[in-house]
Amino acid sequence: KTMERRLDSIHAVNYSLLMDLLGYSQSKLFQLEKNFDELIFSDQLLAKSELKKYVQVTDEEIDRAKERVQESFAQLTLDDVSVVTIKSALYPPLLKKIKRAPLVLFLRGIGDLMQLPCVSVVGSRAATQEGKLRAQKVAIALTENNYGIVSGLAKGIDTAAH
């Protein structure tokens, strides 16, 4: 598991670096000449020379992007957030099946819970107190029956479900 976590971290950094250099455009990532899988899921961090083959950037732009990514990952560590890539055994099997599944997931909590059947609880961002209480009751009932709750943590009902 330690080796898998190390590789997940390398893959997440490679992904984040490429996304930073591409202006966070997923479509640009999918248009790279080389299969982006080979770039991201390398067993080592991407070198400047490798990046420059596929993204037209200067050394200085790469250095600044690396700094931003390092700062982001330092903050993730402080916030107790871990990364799971699509190549990881922890990646949810059903999510892997969707077209253009996220390559990297950032999670806080117990990663093994992603293997549970999941339900998304969504609703208004401007939820009433009654709506929030109902969302909490639904979420409690689901978790007591071994379902995971999934959401983007938007304000309102999504947040109340957690």
Strand pairing of 118-120 and 82-85? unpaired
- Contacts of 31-35 spanning 24+ positions with Cβ under 8 A: none
pLDDT one-digit tens code per residue, 10-20: 888 878 888 88
Element (H, E) at 19: helix 2-21
pTM for the whole structure: 0.61
CA dihedral for 17, 77, 146, 3, sign (positive or negative): positive
Q: What are the helix (H) ranges across 22-92?
A: 26-30, 36-40, 48-54, 59-78
Residues of the chain with pLDDT below 50 are: none
How wide is the angle at C-alpha 96 spanned by C-alphas 20 and 147, nearest 5°? 110
